[in-house]
Amino acid sequence: MRTQVVIIGSGPSGLLLGQLLTGAGIDNVILDRVGKHYILGRVRAGVLEEGMVGLLRAAGAADRMDREGLPHDGFSLAFDGRDHRIDLYGLTAKRVMVYGQTEVTSDLMERREATGGLTIYEAASIAPHGFDTSSPYVTYDKGGTTHRIDCDFIAGCDGYHGVSRRSVPQDALKTFERVYPFGWLGILADIPPVSHELIYANHPRGFALCSMRSQTRSRYYIQCPLDEKIENWSDDRFYDELRRRLPAEHAENLVTGPSFEKSIAPLRSFVAEPMRFGTLFLVGDAAHIVPPTGAKGLNLAASDVHYLFEGLRDYYADRSTAGIDNYSARALKRVWRAVRFSWSMTVMMHRFPDTGEFGQKIQEAELDYLVSSQAASTALAENYVGLPY
């Protein structure tokens, strides 16, 4: 088989790139090692920047998001027993959209099927080859045979554990990493959110986040030790701990109910440079990971897609290589800004092993400055709604 672009990975970055390319008349095939239902079963991000919302519209996959997504004009920082609102819209004239990654993925898959795009699921041993040449190809096993797809370019959209980054000679890659000494224990439950906006809470017992997926579905997280066992956390224990970390007005209003998803996610910052190796491009989590504080992971995957799509579109329109030549530098500039923001939010909001009483006071002073200085609130809001592409 031959196509113009092989996309490895059918997560949000692979699917979004696929739809933008299809819309521009550029042939592409998506390969994933797992099935559609497995991908849709993963509960992850929930806050979309305007840039990503625009890309979903450009990809023709935004109708349901525009109907059911919740535009949010602000969020709260809770500390010292009180709530302090950050007026995103007032400070930046931009808002964010609360709409789950699972829904984004499902909408993109549906759009791909409607436009006749080919996705090969449950393909084993996927491997990119020859990407140091202008005739790369990808092999995979399915139905007892090894298949080969020849192409012009390979987009590695296969996440942190994928094969694309691992296929690059190790001496060609420079990696940067910070692992945080705690995780997030998250639950999803069909209960009304404790507040109509998100609450990020700094508390001596640890960080807590009250988010949502809709007006009837809540997504709550609490900071927990890395070695915590999920079996030790009944729903009641989770809600009790969440309540303790929230200001009284919210703790009193918390509606509880059975969770239908509960998981622990470790927190890390990771960047691999560069993001292009000949005719192979790394996109999204394949190239970088941020801790979830600030909701940047999915949005960064979308900005990578934007830069790569522009580069490929220009290449096929007039054989200009400027966009693909600049892809890595453009993407990494924005990646590092989001890595910095996510790191700073994580440091400001969590209890570290050495935070102690002094560290807690410093965090509270920083938060107090953030919410009382318009300059500082604006800087926070500008990063939260998403820096320009």
The catalytic site residues sit at: 72, 200, 292, 296, 384
For residue 212, which of 365, 75, 387 has the smallest C-alpha distance?
75
Beta-ladder partners of 138: 128, 149
In this chain, which of 295, 301, 335, 338 binds ligand DHB, going by CB under 6 A? 295
Q: Which amino acid type is present at position 301?
A: A
The residue among 101 and 202 lying less far from ligand FAD, judged by its C-beta, is 101
Which residues are near ligand FAD by CB under 6 A? Answer: 8-14, 31-34, 39, 44-45, 101, 126, 157-159, 161-163, 265, 284-285, 292, 295-298, 301
In this chain, which of 69, 128, 206, 294 binds ligand DHB, going by CB under 6 A? 294
The residue among 14 and 206 lying less far from ligand FAD, judged by its C-beta, is 14
Q: How far is the CB of 64 from ligand DHB (least distance, A)?
A: 17
Q: How far is the CB of 271 from ligand FAD (least distance, A)?
A: 13
- Restricting to residues 28-47, name those near ligand DHB by CB under 6 A: 45-47
Helix 12-23, helix 101-114: angle, nearest 10 = 30
Q: How far is the CB of 293 from ligand DHB (least distance, A)?
A: 6
Stretch that binds ligand DHB, among 149-157, 243-251, 286-294, 312-320 (CB under 6 A): 286-294
For residue 352, which of 290, 291, 288 has the smallest C-alpha distance?
291
Helix 50-58, helix 297-318: angle, nearest 10 = 40
CB–CB of 169/46 below 8 Å? Answer: no
Stretch that binds ligand DHB, among 291-299, 306-314, 319-327, 350-358 (CB under 6 A): 291-299
Q: Which two tokens stand for residue 319?
A: 């054989």
Q: Residue 189 binds what, of ligand DHB, ligand FAD, none (CB under 5 to 8 Å, by partner type)?
A: none
The Cα 370–Cα 389 span in angstroms is 25
Binding of ligand DHB by 292 (CB under 6 A): yes
Q: Residue 65 binds what, of ligand DHB, ligand FAD, none (CB under 5 to 8 Å, by partner type)?
A: none
The Cα 182–Cα 133 span in angstroms is 43
| Backbone CA torsion sign across 48, 51, 57, 59 | negative
Stretch that binds ligand DHB, among 30-38, 227-235, 293-301, 330-338 (CB under 6 A): 293-301
For residue 33, which of 109, 119, 122 has the smallest C-alpha distance?
122
- Restricting to residues 160-219, name those near ligand DHB by CB under 6 A: 198, 209, 211, 219
User: Which strands sit side by side in the sheet containing 145-150, from one edge to the other?
Assistant: 124-129, 137-142, 145-150
